[in-house]
Structure 1
Amino acid sequence: MSDLPYRVINESSDGYQTIDAVISPIGQLNILSKVEVAKLLDSSQSGLYKLFRNCSLAVLNTGNDLDDGKELLERYKDFDISIVQEERGIKLSVKGAPAEAFVDNKMIRGISEHLFTVLRDVIYTHDEINGNPKFNLEASEGITDAVFHMLRNAGMLQPGLDPNLVVCWGGHSISRNEYDYTKEVGYALGLRGLDICTGCGPGAMKGPMKGATIGHAKQRINNGRYIGITEPGIIAAEAPNPIVNQLAIMPDIEKRLEAFVRLGHGIIVFPGGAGTTEEILYILGILLHPDNQQIPFPLVFTGPENSAEYFTRVDKFIADTLGPEAQSHYKIIINDPAAVAREMKAGIQKVREFRKYSDDAYYFNWQLRISHDLQQPFIPTHDNMRNLELHKNQPVNQLAANLRRAFSGIVAGNVKEDGICAIEKHGHFELHGDPEIMHPVDELLESFAQQNRMKLPGRTYIPCYKVIK
């Protein structure tokens, strides 16, 4: 993986051990034309460099207990990455990289693969999607087409396979008991030949993959897929876990969420915090759309016995804000991994039958209607957060979309570099709305804070928001 010697730097300027190295590509970036190499060099050295650098550092941080994007960048402020052009293609030169990304002075292979994934996805989006008249990113169809092309470029669309991909959502800082439960569910899914797709980070994103590897091994399944989908704003807080064997970096949270539902055949939600609530509101906003009423899409909420209260609160929040119709779209199963797996297996069979009958692709859900307000990137500025329409005088799927934006802003204020800086500069985000909406929002967020679901356990959570009733 390296043609040049590694040099260990004793300490970074902040006292952390780092390493310099030159890394050779593995896979599709191993063979590039001179024109393609020149294009990569131009893009990486332009205004895209900061994005490329920050995502690369996040990947190299895999395995470290650091979920604060701003702190990560400050800790390794001397980190640098550049493309080295050679006659045979390219290499990556990293300086001041976290030493944990190496073993015996060699970069861990999985991390090396993910590092080149950053290069592939960031450059592809910049060069082939943004500004390309082929993709109208102001229209729903254009956004979906762009998501399709990004996933295809990442090698995630595999024709000829029966539907078997389960998306698992949940918190990155869940308790040990909850984490062990996600492994048990993943094991039950793996025994039934189901593959796993998550947000690629630790906690509830890693556990199902870890369990599925054992289930697949017992069934002698040697081509299991452990797909991770992330985006630049969250990757520093949720670095790809070691089990991910296919990684895609989408350009923003909205395209990341759409990738989950277009690629997956069912969703399991484990306990989490504001980010998990954002994901729940996103999928409910889709399933509540009138055009999607007849499209099967299994959705299960699950956790161990001591998570029952968490789901009771989430279920009550959904009932109080979105109503019983929203509740009808999911099933809550507590402390029964096998039942979760059976429910998902049966639900995905219905998806297969529907796709076959309607002649829709197994590998990409074209028919699902995603409204434009769920696709358009939401920038959580103080003004945008303050002006969200949080009231019941609107279609229920639109209310779900607006609530999703509110929780997206809270996630940004908690763990994303830009959001953290905005809070430090301008103070709390303010959420305004009708009391019948704001009371449930406030109660749910308060319960998350009390249960240490807003930050890693052991840290005092300082809210980035104020609910104005």
Structure 2
Amino acid sequence: MPFQLRAEEKLVPNAGTIQPMEYEVIDTQVSPTGRLEILSRTEAAKLLDIGHGGLHQLYRDCSLAVLNCGNELDDGKELLERYRDFDIRIMQRQRGIKLDIKGAPASAFVDGKMITGIREHLFAVLRDVIYVSEEIRGNPRFALDTSGGVTDAVFHILRNASVLQPRTDPNLVVCWGGHSVGREEYEYTKVIGYQLGLRGLDICTGCGPGAMKGPMKGAAIAHAKQRIGTGRYIGFTEPGIIAAEAPNPIVNELVIFPDVEKRLEAFVRAGHGFVVFPGGAGTAEEILYILGVLLHPSNADVPFPLVFTGPKSAENYFRQIDQFVGATLGVEAQRLYKIIIDDPVQVAREIQAGIKLVRNFRKQQRDSYYFNSMLKIEHDFQRPFHPSHENMRKLKLHRNQPRHTLAANLRRAFSGVVAGNVKNEGIREIEKHGSFEIQGDAAIMGPMDALLASFVAQQRMKLSSKKYNPCYRIVAETAA
């Protein structure tokens, strides 16, 4: 079917007239790429079902996010409203399925043909939505109310996506950082990726723009120079964030996890070295997650290369992060990472040396190179957290608990801020009930308030709005 280009229309508020939008959409049909070329009648019916228990809304929203690649829009609610007429339907045919797409963002096409990387991502969405629905949810084989059951589910999602590769040495570097970064910081992430790629290391990120895209770009150039034709640029995402951080087309292995907790666990299970760039609330959430996991006594001897880095201009940012970690989780948490400023070569060497330790440790322990099964992750870090106003108020942000448990609760607080900033459901919650209230000990709330305020001042919270309106309110409780 030839593609059809058309201009969308919208009702301009208070104008009473219909005017053309400033962007264009395309109607088209595409055939599958990859493994999922056929569907059962039951699977197809679920993807078309818009009622309770159906998958159509989830599938439609994730597909739209993938097709929105390249547009500077990090507001999930705005994306869904902008392309409210978008739809995607499964067409069952004798030779397999086709996707009938209406109202897709024109930026996903070149001369009417869908960009190959985006097309691959579109079918990764189909693969993962179907797999989680059919094989994970409600399957007694996966006891999702237990730590081991969640880890098993993460393993199977990764294996189904062909991410886990045996008989290969550890070489996967996870890069975390903000989608809303300045040009200097973005260029720095590319140089880091380049230095990692020259050393034969692959990249895994949250798959979006900014500090998630830069390392992949740099590594791709380095891999080309080293004649590495099998470079891996892996992206992990989840339905809540994918609309705000559309996968960039460099990603050649995309996995959509059912929630942020399983996404975070996948990073630490699959990765061998970790680099953290400047970011906002989402990056703070990732930092708190990994520090909380590593603070558990069972993980004291597990080698885990973790480097915070950025250009000279980001030095103050990492000083603030370090101060916050010290004030809330203590010196022991600060010892779990190294801060290296404005030295990409040293970062790459540090990660490379750390990965060698990982390899030796896993070899001695007879653990696999492709999945870190020895790492202890408690269920506190695995239970999906719904950032409602009630749940945000109930967070236990006080010192009278183990440090790794405090880290888990701090992670949830920052997860709520992320939801209120860019996730469709969180934004609607804020519009309906006002700002989230985050309360706890003054000794914790003070540093948190200061850190979030620094993110706002440095414009690290949001891309799509010139003026940031906080979705949270910090309440410091005084000791009785």
Question: Which TM class, normalised by the smaller chain length?
Answer: over 0.9
Of 368, 372, 376, the match for 1:365: 372
Of 463, 466, 469, the match for 1:462: 469
How is 1:2-41 mapped onto 2 (pairs within 5 angstroms)? 4-13=1-10, 15=21, 16-30=23-37, 32=38, 36-41=39-44
Calculate the TM-score normalised by the size of structure 2: 0.95
Q: Cα gap change, 1:158/1:12 in structure 2, threshold over 3 Å: closer, same or farther?
A: farther
Corresponding position of 2:16: none
Of 167, 174, 179, the match for 2:181: 174
Corresponding position of 1:45: 48
Shift of 1:88: 1.2
Give 2:325's aligned amino acid: I
Corresponding position of 1:120: 127
Instruction: Note if 1:161 corresponds to 2:168.
Output: yes
Corresponding position of 2:15: none
Shift of 1:343: 0.2
Of 57, 68, 89, the match for 1:82: 89
Instruction: Note if 1:413 corresponds to 2:420.
Output: yes
Instruction: Note if 1:394 corresponds to 2:391.
Output: no
**Distance (whole Å) between structure 1 residues aligned to residue 217 and residue 260 of structure 2:** 25
Of 212, 215, 218, the match for 1:211: 218
Corresponding position of 1:451: 458
Corresponding residue SS for 1:117: helix
Give 1:6's aligned amino acid: F
Instruction: Note if 1:196 corresponds to 2:203.
Output: yes
2:75, 2:464 within 8 Å by CA — same for their partners in 1? no
How is 1:64-463 mapped onto 2 (pairs within 5 angstroms)? 64-456=71-463, 459-463=466-470
**Distance (whole Å) between structure 1 residues aligned to residue 309 and residue 343 of structure 2:** 8
Kindly provide the CA deviation profile for residues 158-181 of structure 1, in whole angstroms up to 9, marking residues without a partner as x: 101100000000000101000000
2:72, 2:464 within 8 Å by CA — same for their partners in 1? no
**Distance (whole Å) between structure 2 residues aligned to residue 40 and residue 95 of structure 1:** 21
**Distance (whole Å) between structure 2 residues aligned to residue 102 and residue 12 of structure 1:** 20
Percent identity among equivalent residues? 66
**Distance (whole Å) between structure 1 residues aligned to residue 9 and residue 36 of structure 2:** 30
**Distance (whole Å) between structure 2 residues aligned to residue 338 and residue 321 of structure 1:** 31
Give 1:370's aligned amino acid: I
2:220, 2:231 within 8 Å by CA — same for their partners in 1? yes
Answer with 369-378 or 8-17: which moved more: 8-17
Give 2:44's aligned amino acid: L
Corresponding residue SS for 2:450: helix
**Distance (whole Å) between structure 1 residues aligned to residue 354 and residue 72 of structure 2:** 36
2:4, 2:27 within 8 Å by CA — same for their partners in 1? yes
**Distance (whole Å) between structure 1 residues aligned to residue 272 and residue 247 of structure 2:** 22
Give 1:434's aligned amino acid: D
Two-structure CA RMSD over aligned residues (Å): 0.9
Shift of 1:187: 0.3
Corresponding residue SS for 1:10: strand
Corresponding residue SS for 1:90: strand
Answer with 153-162 or 4-13: which moved more: 4-13
**Number of residue-to-residue matches in the alignment:** 462
1:254, 1:375 within 8 Å by CA — same for their partners in 2? yes
Q: Cα gap change, 1:243/1:73 in structure 2, threshold over 3 Å: closer, same or farther?
A: same
Give 1:38's aligned amino acid: R
Shift of 1:209: 0.3
2:64, 2:104 within 8 Å by CA — same for their partners in 1? yes
**Distance (whole Å) between structure 1 residues aligned to residue 162 and residue 65 of structure 2:** 22
Corresponding position of 2:69: 62
